[in-house]
Structure 1
């Protein structure tokens, strides 16, 4: 009976702890700390630390990015994962509306430290999953307004958004909000496509037009824009002429074949300087042999290794926002595309300003 009472108290305590949602809460993967306290202080602050698979089964619990706590707003956060589940801007295969949900599910495989760079994001920044933008699946222009309004609120808190797409249309309203706070930003754009079309099927807003709209509205510092991995057939002999005329650095995929991209990223860091930078990564930048779950695949793309090199090469930049877009789960029943997206988002988290490395 005594044992039963003790177990009941422990169960109630565990349940009480699991229901708390204050952003100051943290769970630690260190067994010694876990035995003594459900909270951990890092450099005088308490951070959210994902539940460790050493103690809690990955398949259990409500799905959040990296099994982080969920909170409704970005208040009190240094960085936040947020989903924008739309595919109404796509020109080919739909399905990216399910990207955030599947990225979250596959992110259960992530752990707390980056073994390659020794980054410790959850000992550096207060991070949480703040859910999805409430988009309008019937009206793309209204969806863009909703995204812009949501990101204005996020940016007002000083939080850095890490976005799970959704199709690439979302970069336009996000950058509207980012530029309102930071002014024209540099852009590291990783993609198979330049996304600088003017009008497609009579429409100016879609996943092939966001960066044309951004230039027109003065959201980008065009001398600090690089597009990496561009390839595929085009509507003209030089599909990237418009980008070059604006002052963008264009790195076609042929320049990336069979080599490390670390030297390229050293040049990119010099180009970006100390000003604010936004990182936008379309999963179709990767070869479809690695990431088939996307709407507009192009052969002969980047490898996941090169994708990681690009993101790690952003270390030291003044990153003010990042996105990972165009994951379309219906075209990859293995889940590997969403898993790759989850890992790339974790890599983005690990290069944000104020990151600690061990």
Structure 2
């Protein structure tokens, strides 16, 4: 039960009006540490549509998210004041106006001193998320994704779920020298697809084959590359194998198991996260809500990372945080 909801009577996980993890719904950001925001836009997808319904699905499926994480030894809803801020008022069918609305909403969260946790929605929306950080300068990005999303255009369109990262780098929103992509795999147009991400744009990447069985080493690589830079983590659910996350827009066989994905996230604890998003949840292709349940729990793991860092800082131990990563289990 969320300690800030303070209901007169405890409400079961299957009852009540769905909010993320049964958090209170509030548009008042005064004193809020984390605002959960739904981004119901999927106007740029090139395969499966339906991500606009992702935020609603994750709210419903996250009713079973508890309050304490024994693996990370933290209770994020006690360490952080969290609310469900509701959805961005997107404009169906209009990418430019929807992205502008997303940017305004995220900017409102940031101006209030809160950290955004966003659920989408197609991955083009991450460009708008990052635009809200423009005044703070370029951030590091950790992108967990099966695809590079660094195409120049799709069908003559420059703004797409497959081109958001290239656009973000071009707009000076992302510092590629401290950014990394994790989980790339699947068929591509040619050898230049991966090469251009590294050689042309300056990104580092780790394929799924490189990650498998080397979770701790991958986490160490990410921590070293990002360092003490402010970092935005974006997770496309297609980084997870379709056996564990079938409800996504562009599924790729041979991905990470949900267990591996959670283990990797837990070992990124020392980093200075300024925002998160979990994208490309398409409920129509989900099976037994397993993708939505996973998305809700991945969000919880990310909140735990933020809570651990806040707790260390409040204890006057910020300098010791770098040694506080949760060791991953042997895989």
TM-score, normalising length: structure 2: 0.90
Kept in 1: contact 2:32–2:83 (CA 8 A)? yes
Pairing partner for 1:151 from 99, 106, 115: 106
Per-residue CA deviation, residues 287-322 of structure 1 (Å, 9 max, x unaligned), is 001100011000101111121122112211110000
Secondary structure of 2:129's counterpart equals: helix
- Note if 1:325 corresponds to 2:265: no
The reply to whether residue 163 of structure 1 matches residue 144 of structure 2 is no
Q: What runs of 5+ residues in structure 2 fail to find an aligned partner?
A: 313-323, 325-331
Shift of 1:158: 1.3
Shift of 1:260: 4.0
Identify the residue that residue 111 of structure 1 maps to in structure 2: 66
Give the Cα separation in 1 of the matches to 2:100 and 2:272: 26
1:187-235: CA deviations, max 9, x gaps?
1100001101111011011100100100101111111111000011111
Q: Does 1:207 align with 2:134?
A: no
**Deviation, structure 1 residue 50:** 7.8
Q: Structure 1 residue 291 and structure 2 residue 245: aligned?
A: yes
Q: Using the alignment, how far apart are the partners of 1:103 and 1:311 within structure 2?
A: 19
How many angstroms apart in 2 are the aligned matches of 1:321 and 1:50?
A: 27
Cα displacement string for residues 250-283 of structure 1 (whole angstroms, at most 9, x for unaligned residues): 10111122x1412211121121111100000000
Q: Any stretches of 5+ residues in structure 1 without a counterpart?
A: 1-25, 29-47
Change (3 A) 1:310 1:142: same
Residue 97 (structure 2) aligned to one of 142, 146, 156? 142
* 1:279 aligned residue: 233
CA distance in 2, matches of 1:27, 1:256: 35
Question: Are 2:318 and 1:354 aligned?
Answer: no
Task: Determine helix, strand or coil for the equivalent of 1:243.
Answer: helix
* 2:40–2:121 contact (8 Å) kept in structure 1: yes
> Partners in 2 of 1:58 and 1:256 — Cα distance?
35
Asked if the contact 1:50/1:112 (under 8 Å) is kept, the reply is: no
CA distance in 2, matches of 1:192, 1:140: 23
Q: Give the aligned length.
A: 310
Structure 2 CA distance for partners of 1:27 and 1:114, relative to 1, 3 Å: closer
Normalization by structure 1: what TM-score? Answer: 0.83
1:132 and 2:87 matched:
yes
Question: What is the alpha-carbon distance in structure 1 between the residues aligned to residue 29 and residue 303 of structure 2?
Answer: 15
Q: Do the aligned residues in 2 keep the contact of 1:81 with 1:129 (CA within 8 Å)?
A: yes
The answer to whether the 8 A contact 2:44-2:124 is kept is yes
2:192 corresponds to 1:241: no
How far 1:49 sits from its partner (Å)? 5.7
Q: Does the 8 Å CA contact 2:120/2:278 hold for their aligned counterparts?
A: yes
Any idea what the Cα deviations from partners look like across 1:20-42, whole Å, max 9, x if unmatched? xxxxxx964xxxxxxxxxxxxxx
Provide the residue aligned with 1:41 in structure 2.
none
Q: In structure 2, do the counterparts of structure 1 residues 317 and 27 end up closer, same or farther at CA, with 3 Å as the change threshold?
A: closer
From 41, 64, 67, give the equivalent of 1:86: 41
